[in-house]
Amino acid sequence: MAELPTSPLSPDSACKTTLYPRLCKSMLPNYGSNNLYNYGRLSVQKALSNAFGFSSLIDRKLKNRFLIPNNQVAALRDCKLLADLTTDYLLNTMATLNSTDNLSGAHADDVQTLLSAIVTNQQTCYEGLRASSPSNDLYAPLTNGSEIYSVSLALVTHASTPRERKRKQRKERGLLSELKVGRDGFPQWLSKEKHRIIQAGKRMLLQSDSVLVNDTVTVAQDGSGNFTTISDAINAAPNRTDVKNGYFVIYVLKGVYEEYVSIPKIKWNLMMVGDGINQTIITGNRSVVDGSTTFNSATFAVVGQGFVAMDMTFRNTAGPEKHQAVAVRNGADLSVFYHCSVEGYQDTLYTHSLRQFYRECDIYGTIDFIFGNAAVVFQNCNLYARMPMASQNNVFTAQGRTDPNQNTGTSILNCSVTASSDFAWNSSSVNSYLGRPWKEYSRTVYMKSFIDSLIDSSGWLPWSGDFALNTLYYGEFNNSGPGADTSKRVSWPGYHAIMNVTDAGNFTVSNFIMGDVWLPATSVEFHAGLDS
């Protein structure tokens, strides 16, 4: 029988749950026994101290930025943003751990999500620095921090009791009832009020039985709205608003907005609504070839929790020859993209971290065009491969899970996997794959989706040699279409032709991202289980 989290346990026994037992034992008291929960709490305290120290180290580096090449400065700025997020996540984790002696339910999922994101933040910083400089004195503290955070993740995860997934959790978080969407794709309250909002040209307070809206502003390039740029509207939004007090809605009228949009960590529960795919367009062309980091190449980036986007197009037009060029980078917890189009080539959609949901979206790209390490579900989406450069393969996903205790992965449910209209005629000349393992514990599943003939019969592509083939988790369940035949799929130990509903159910909206707890407040349609 497994030890209960509150049972006395020696540091040696506790640290066996981690990837770094020697480091773990050095972080815990070397006398007597404690319980796993308290060990986890102690490890998070150590992690928080490390995070403060690393953030200060980056600050000192940036003070001398005039002595550093520009590409390294860009990577350091990414690291600073990520380090600040890590500190916030650890402070939130510590507050939760100090408020109880039994981590369970939604709180357990929240804490594991935050600690998983912290490990991802470290990895992202490391990769950005490595791409800009072959040698850097930040590598050692980065590696040390990554190992400390991994220990905390393992201890806290194993100290958590299994979570319940009951309807009562909706009351636990104070979220709203399920909402309805009108025929035009807008929430019903917005369908009725949209034109009146434009005519009034001023902020309004809307409230209905279905959704709460704290305030509404409009963005119009012709000056008829409250703002002419999206960024100005975001800056006007209040900070750290609770979803129980309603969304701050930014209605973006149709037009092509050539601006780089960033929604920072202090802007919570923004809802951005456009006039439809290919009507409201945000576009940019940053790329790695032209000097950006992958992380900062995004046309649209969001980290403010509770973000919702509806009926918009997001583009990076750098083209395949510019290599990594992100259209959307999403590191916002409890975030949703509904009826949106995300368009690029290599690295189109960066699902960086935390819990995300995409419904009825079109996503276009070539190499690794859905990548990152969020816990993310794509439902009823269209995934389109485009024409890559000569001698390149198309790869739909490159999931970046680096630690077996992270609750992350990419779940693709009831979607369509096919070629874009301008590539379909020539798709047989390019090898296309469902995914490849960017990181050691890469995890991706395709379930009940249509897979077209462009997908190679092997299904999946190695990253390099036998890297991650034993530790990844790639699964397929009840897919259809000419590319869905699994009889000639790869024979890697980590590949699974999922045969039962129970295993497939682990990757649904309800079980994988606890979406039935938080999605009802967004107005977006979803299916909690495997039903389409």
- 232 to 6, 235, 297: CA distances (angstroms): 50, 5, 20
Element (H, E) at 475: strand 473-477
Q: Average pLDDT, stretch 58-77?
A: 89
Q: In this structure, how many other beta carbons lie within 10 angstroms of the beta carbon of residue 457? A: 12
Marked catalytic residue, from 368, 403, 452, 516: 368
Q: What's the distance, Cα to Cα, between the start and end of the chain in Å?
A: 39
CB-based contacts of 212, cutoff 8 Å, min separation 6: 176, 243, 244, 245, 246, 247
**Residue 180's pLDDT band (boundaries 50, 70, 90)?**
very low
pLDDT of 200 higher than 50? no
DSSP symbols for 419-455: E-TTTGGGGGGS-EESB--SSTT-EEEEES-EE-TTB
**Model confidence pLDDT, tens digit, residues 343-367:** 999 999 999 999 999 999 999 999 9
- Does residue 368 carry a catalytic annotation? yes
b/e string for 228-250 if b means 16 or more Cβ within 10 A?
Answer: eebeebbeebeeebebeebbbbb
Class of domain 11-159: mainly alpha
**Model confidence pLDDT, tens digit, residues 20-59:** 999 999 999 876 668 899 999 999 999 999 999 999 999 9
Closest CA to 162 of 475, 511, 518: 511
**Residue 324's pLDDT band (boundaries 50, 70, 90)?**
very high
Per-residue model confidence (pLDDT) at position 509: 98
Domain ranges of the chain: 11-159
The answer to whether the pTM exceeds 0.75 is yes
> Does residue 237 contact residue 254 with C-beta atoms inside 8 Å?
no
Distance CA(438)–CA(445), nearest Å, equals 15
